[in-house]
Structure 1
Amino acid sequence: MAGARASGKSLYLAVLIKQLELMALQRFTRVTIKAADESTRQRYKENYERPLYEEMKHMAPTPTSANVDAYQRDPFIFKLGKWPDANNDLREHYLVIRDVAGEDLENPNLDPNSMEFFRYADLVIFLFDPTRVRSIAPYLEGMYARQSQTGGEPERVLDNIARLIGDERPKLAVTIAKFDILQSLAKKSVQDNKWKSIMANEGAAFSRDTGWSYQYHNQWILHLEIQSLLRKFEAHELLNTIEELYANEPSKYSYFAVSALGEAPKGQDLDRKGIAPYRVLDPVRWHLGRFGVLMGKEDTYQ
């Protein structure tokens, strides 16, 4: 996972695992999502699950990898259960995640060799806060309470991701985090009514959470809608960088919209309505669906 500081990467990871656990319990028999080792179990419990789900507090920033207490320096490894391979033999599948500190990814002097694992990733989830995109922020002025003044521009983080992957082209999930902020444009009075009408479109894919279902055509429509939305917001540098980077392999990137919490925290406390995730599983299922992992009979990948 990659993104600037305060882009919501750790929140996303915390909620992602909980959503995977719930989906496995409710949709599949003989499948449970669990930590593959004691280190993963303890680190997830102490640094992600406890503060968010037990204390109902906003999570602390991810420490830079240079810190001695950087709990995320080692990857998190989760078992996804046994699923048929290409030969229809049941094989254990794993989800290996690295929660990379935004401070590291914002560093203009980042040494690519220090994060060589990016080159070998199957999927990079690039999360970005829409309020940090210069062309988008003016439209959202006064629509949200700033939780922090930290966090660099997503475009600069994307530049560093390009340096880290070099000539490799892992799948790239370009993901608007905190999408609930953009959705609020549909509910409040804004100077430019075109944004209210766009975000209030009940027929749009971004207006619906598909729950545990995954349909390829729905994801493709969402991809086109988010791409179009970013163009409307004049986020040209972000879009052009991605299109240039993946010019020869356009099928390897896709646009997503997620909200880990559903509502912005009130200071350090979560909203009283609790955690209401929106399309959190989409980026991961976009990749896992290729292997038939966590796919039900009614789900489609192509």
Structure 2
Amino acid sequence: MTPPILTRCPWTFRPLADPGAARSEHAGRELPAGWAGSGTLCVAMAGARASGKSLYIAVLVKQLEQLAEAHGRVLAPVDDYTERCYREHYERPLFEEMGLMAPTPRMAAEDAYQREPLIFSLGTWEVDGERRPWHLVVRDVAGEDLEQLPADPGQLSFFRYADEVLFLFDPLKVPQIRSYLSGLVPAQEPGGDPLRVLRNLLTVLDGHRPRLAVALSKFDTLQALERVPDSEWARIMGNHGAAYRRDTGLDHDAADSVLLDREIRSMLLRLDAADLVHTLDERYARAGAPFRHFATSALGASPQGAHLDRRGIAPYRCLDPIRWLLGSRGLF
């Protein structure tokens, strides 16, 4: 069943009682111009420290711009804050300075720019026989705020009303993988505990079950395991017929997405993430809530210290988790 089309508050993700209102009753703020009656898709990022959430957002926006152009549309920021924030904190450090972004500050910090969402127009679409504008709202979240919940967890309540939560799992957190990769890719500091983050996320959700995309991030590091001689991982990553070895680019294939879901679930079990997999099975699958596994790499190659690989940026399957959401609404 297709979910109802809702006009949501971009700051709290809650549906507006009056879709045509000019002001959000939840945030007590004036809504962006052209918001009345629009379809709103809200995405919240989740993951431990150093899992790549901000890198993913930086690359996602660029790829969504390409996707919109391919469909004769324009992805555009709806306000000055989104345009300025994306440029200063995502675009400039990554695409112009060719370096890594600074860690996302905790919500309590004075410079916590991610307290405000990034809001983009997707253009006007006909869905369920009605033409209306559509917007995409994305909220970044510091890993520390999910590893150790704020004193007031209500600050994260927007997760409950998200159309999709995108949870990134960093394979470099697995000691065996770090050992295999020694000498193959530049060393990276492993982030926080993804299982702790997942459990805290479920606490924040408090019984709500928004669509959940679980992405194995930094997938380029796992692809490098093909070069480890006589190892189980060399055989796994050397299977060029697997869905996780194919980048679908701007295209989206529903059957391919289902196959990839099963492959990445199996891979997570081999990555000693059984507790995470079984927690998802119990709290999502058995509840009939929608969730799916993905593989993504925002950069396509491991950074050299604080700088990008000299070959540049080659994103891998970054659109997949968002295309799963967009496709459910008949967009793109």
Give the TM-score taking structure 1 as reference length: 0.91
Counterpart selection for 2:138 from 56, 81, 97: 97
- Native 8 Å contact 1:264 1:270 kept in 2: yes
Alignment of 1:1-302 (within 5 A): 1-25=45-69, 27-29=70-72, 31-87=73-129, 89-107=130-148, 111-133=152-174, 136-148=177-189, 151-186=191-226, 188-190=227-229, 193-250=231-288, 252-294=290-332
Runs of 4 or more, structure 1, over 6 Å off, are none
Equivalent position SS for 1:292: coil
How many residues align structurally? 288
* Alignment match, 2:12: none
CA–CA distance in structure 1, aligned partners of residues 285 and 319 of structure 2: 26
Equivalent position SS for 1:148: coil
Which structure 1 residue ranges, 5 or more long, are not aligned?
Answer: 295-302
Amino acid of the structure 1 residue aligned with 2:209: R
Deviation, structure 1 residue 18: 0.2
Deviation, structure 1 residue 109: 6.1
- Native 8 Å contact 1:104 1:110 kept in 2: no
Deviations 1:31-68 (CA, angstroms, capped at 9, x unpaired): 10010111100000111001111111111111111111
Equivalent position SS for 1:168: coil
CA–CA distance in structure 2, aligned partners of residues 175 and 258 of structure 1: 6
- Native 8 Å contact 1:206 1:225 kept in 2: yes
How has the CA–CA distance of structure 1 residues 269 and 49 changed in structure 2, closer, same or farther, with 3 Å as cutoff? same
Equivalent position SS for 1:40: helix
- Native 8 Å contact 2:181 2:224 kept in 1: no
Equivalent position SS for 2:168: strand
Amino acid of the structure 2 residue aligned with 1:269: H
Deviations 1:240-293 (CA, angstroms, capped at 9, x unpaired): 111111133445010000000000111111111111000000001101101111
Amino acid of the structure 2 residue aligned with 1:257: A
Deviation, structure 1 residue 198: 1.1
Which structure 2 residue ranges, 5 or more long, are not aligned?
Answer: 1-44
Amino acid of the structure 2 residue aligned with 1:196: A
CA–CA distance in structure 1, aligned partners of residues 296 and 169 of structure 2: 10
Indicate the larger mover: 167-176 or 229-238: 229-238
Give the aligned CA root-mean-square deviation in angstroms.
1.6
Amino acid of the structure 1 residue aligned with 2:50: A
CA–CA distance in structure 2, aligned partners of residues 255 and 178 of structure 1: 14
Deviations 1:214-238 (CA, angstroms, capped at 9, x unpaired): 0100000000110111223332111
How has the CA–CA distance of structure 1 residues 198 and 60 changed in structure 2, closer, same or farther, with 3 Å as cutoff? same
- Native 8 Å contact 2:74 2:122 kept in 1: yes
* Alignment match, 1:298: none
Amino acid of the structure 1 residue aligned with 2:128: A
Amino acid of the structure 2 residue aligned with 1:4: A
Amino acid of the structure 2 residue aligned with 1:24: A
Indicate the larger mover: 38-47 or 129-138: 129-138
How has the CA–CA distance of structure 1 residues 217 and 249 changed in structure 2, closer, same or farther, with 3 Å as cutoff? farther
CA–CA distance in structure 1, aligned partners of residues 262 and 235 of structure 2: 18
* Alignment match, 2:28: none
How has the CA–CA distance of structure 1 residues 161 and 106 changed in structure 2, closer, same or farther, with 3 Å as cutoff? same
Amino acid of the structure 2 residue aligned with 1:184: A
Amino acid of the structure 2 residue aligned with 1:44: Y
Deviation, structure 1 residue 83: 1.1
Amino acid of the structure 2 residue aligned with 1:158: L
